[in-house]
């Protein structure tokens, strides 16, 4: 176990097991994806992209998916900033079309737990919307490579 006090979290000091912060970050995204009842293929692809961003392995992703069946509370205090997590949650919610009420509820449960002020939330959501098209292009490109339709 490691005691962590991360500079991005002035209020967080947690004892974590190696790898669990990645699982908690991914759990937040899984909860958004599952919020409207069905995880769509584009959400799976974005989840895979986010797993790669944090250098998580397939076991970490599988752990997050399994945890989502008995944990429905969003998590903070990961080594990745809460602001990055929020933006990725918004992009996940938008990836299959409009953000639904259930997805919105999950995102704002995270905001409440993370104690992000309203003005900052508004700015971060705008940033996520601006980044959305680039993220979806990257997801589609990675999928084309994965399917062998284009070379690396």
Task: Tell me the pLDDT tens digit for each residue of 15-51.
Answer: 334 447 788 889 999 999 999 998 999 999 999 999 9
Residue 7 in domain: yes
> Residue 101: which CATH number?
1.10.3680.10
Q: Give the HSE-up count for residue 122: Cα atoms under 13 Å, Cβ half-sphere.
A: 3
Q: Which of 83, 89, 102, 98 is nearest to 50 (CA)?
A: 89
- Residue range 74-109, pLDDT digits in tens: 877 655 688 999 999 999 999 999 899 999 999 999
DSSP 6: -
User: How many domains in the chain?
Assistant: 1
Asked if 102 and 65 touch (Cβ cutoff 8 Å), the reply is no
pTM: 0.79
In which domain, by residue range, is 120 found?
2-146
């Amino acid at each position: 176990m490691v005691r962590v006090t991360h500079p991005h979290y002035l209020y967080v000091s947690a004892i974590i097991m190696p790898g669990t912060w990645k699982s908690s970050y991914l759990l937040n995204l899984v909860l958004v994806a599952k919020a409207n009842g069905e995880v769509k293929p584009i959400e799976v692809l974005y989840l895979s992209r986010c797993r790669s961003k944090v250098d998580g392995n397939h076991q970490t992703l599988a752990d997050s998916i399994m945890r989502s069946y008995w944990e429905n509370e969003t998590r903070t205090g990961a080594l990745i900033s809460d602001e990055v997590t929020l933006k990725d949650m918004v992009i996940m919610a938008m990836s299959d079309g409009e953000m639904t009420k259930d997805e919105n509820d999950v995102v704002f449960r995270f905001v409440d737990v993370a104690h992000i002020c309203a003005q900052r939330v508004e700015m971060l959501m705008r940033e996520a919307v601006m980044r959305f098209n680039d993220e979806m292009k990257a997801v589609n490109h990675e999928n084309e490579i994965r399917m062998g339709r284009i070379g690396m």
